[in-house]
Amino acid sequence: MEWMLPFHIVNLIIGVSTWIFFANTFGSSSPFLQNYGNDFISFLILGLMFNSLFAYTLDGFRISTLLFLRGRIGSMGQHLSMYDYVKLCGIPVSVPILAWLIDGYIETSITLLVYLIAGIIFGLNIGSGNYLVALVGILIGLFAVAGIGLLSASMITIAGAWKGIEPISWLVKLLVGLLAGVYFPTEALPDSLQLISLLLPHTYALKIARMALLTGFGFESLISEFLAVSLMSLILFPLGIIVYRYSIALIKIKTLVE
């Protein structure tokens, strides 16, 4: 990680700069930005920031589980699988998986920080925002996305999804990029696509965070978004946990290598 970090930061700065110049060229005059303080640069930077957090939450469980299941311990041709090693040491399976997950979140936090610094340099304006509402909205959204992430990770043992793409995560990422309002307001989409965007927890969480931070909206003004994203979290997160626990129990039952 220590060697990858400088390159990662340079890539991020170049990426953010590209979007900011894009925003400077085309942004702020759109009627769709009225709800977001007519500030496209801030709109975009917040979208990029929170989306990187959601993207890792979606993939983190799957990546950590894959690292655990494929991991080997030892050297010079003498190995134990990570699973055997952990079990034989009496370490709960959750420990290495959570360790990798936390490692990924540390890396994602650095990304967020770079976005924030670049944003402040280029004019991110969240000084009058309602931070608490934004934080709660993002946290509830993260639980919902984590639920999808857990379902996606479960597919490794349930369906054998270490081969090729994992369909749940792939589909959600595909839809989020276009429909969840990461790069532009969902109001710019045709009605039919806006309906599909309502199925994604990202849509609500991003809307809550942006409206709270850019125009200072409170809980009362965003009640419908909060209700929708909370409902999704209440369904997806427990469901994800149940299915994921089952998928981990399958390691001892199924033959993992065909």
Partner 1 sequence: MNAIETQNLTRVFERYNYTDTQVSMDREDNPGGLFLSLYNRYFNKNVKKETIYAVNEVSIKVKKGQLVCILGPNGCGKTTLLRVLATLLKPTQGTAYIMGHDVVKEEKVIWRYVTYVAGLLTGGAWMDFRLTPKDILTIQARLYGFPEERIRDALELSRLIDVANVRVSTFSTGMLARLSVAIGLLRDSPVYLLDEPMVGISKDVTEELYSYVKNNIQKRAGATFLYATNNVLEAQRLADEIIMMYRGKVIAQGKVDELITKFFKEQAIDIEISNCSSDILKSIDSLPKVSKIINLTSKNESDITLVIYTASPREILPILIREILEKNGEIRYIKVREPTLEDVFIKVMKEKSKEGEVAS
Please give the Cα distance from 215 to 130 (Å, whole number).
8
For the CA atoms of 32, 38, 42, 48, the dihedral, rounded to the nearest 10 degrees, stands at 0
**131-158 and 201-215 are packed helices; what angle lies between their axes, rounded to 10 degrees?**
160
State the binding string over 162-191 for partner 1 (x if CB under 8 A, else -). Answer: xxxxxx------------------------
Query: Rounded to the nearest whole angstrom, what is the least distance from the CB of residue 246 to partner 1 in the complex?
Result: 13
> Between residues 45 and 58, which has the closer beta carbon with respect to partner 1?
58
Q: Which residue shows structure tokens 């379902």?
A: 151
Using CB under 8 A, which of 36, 83, 217, 226 touches partner 1? 83
Using CB under 8 A, which of 2, 4, 90, 191 touches partner 1? 90
Query: Rounded to the nearest whole angstrom, what is the least distance from the CB of residue 239 to partner 1 in the complex?
Result: 21
Query: Rounded to the nearest whole angstrom, what is the least distance from the CB of residue 160 to partner 1 in the complex?
Result: 5
Using CB under 8 A, which of 4, 76, 192, 220 touches partner 1? 76
Any contact of residue 99 with partner 1 (CB under 8 A)? no
To which H or E segment does residue 81 belong?
Answer: strand 78-81
Using CB under 8 A, which of 9, 80, 135, 231 touches partner 1? 80
Any contact of residue 78 with partner 1 (CB under 8 A)? yes
Any contact of residue 68 with partner 1 (CB under 8 A)? no
Query: Rounded to the nearest whole angstrom, what is the least distance from the CB of residue 89 to partner 1 in the complex?
Result: 5
Angle at CA of residue 204, ends 189 and 192, nearest 5°: 30
Total of chain residues touching partner 1, rule CB under 8 A: 30
Please give the Cα distance from 200 to 141 (Å, whole number).
10
Tell me how far CA of residue 152 lies from CA of 1, 61, 188, 189, 241, in angstroms. Answer: 25, 8, 30, 27, 11
DSSP 178-197: HHSSSSS-GGGS-HHHHHHH
Any contact of residue 258 with partner 1 (CB under 8 A)? yes
**Contact footprint for partner 1 (CB under 8 A):** 73-80, 83-85, 87-91, 159-167, 252-255, 258
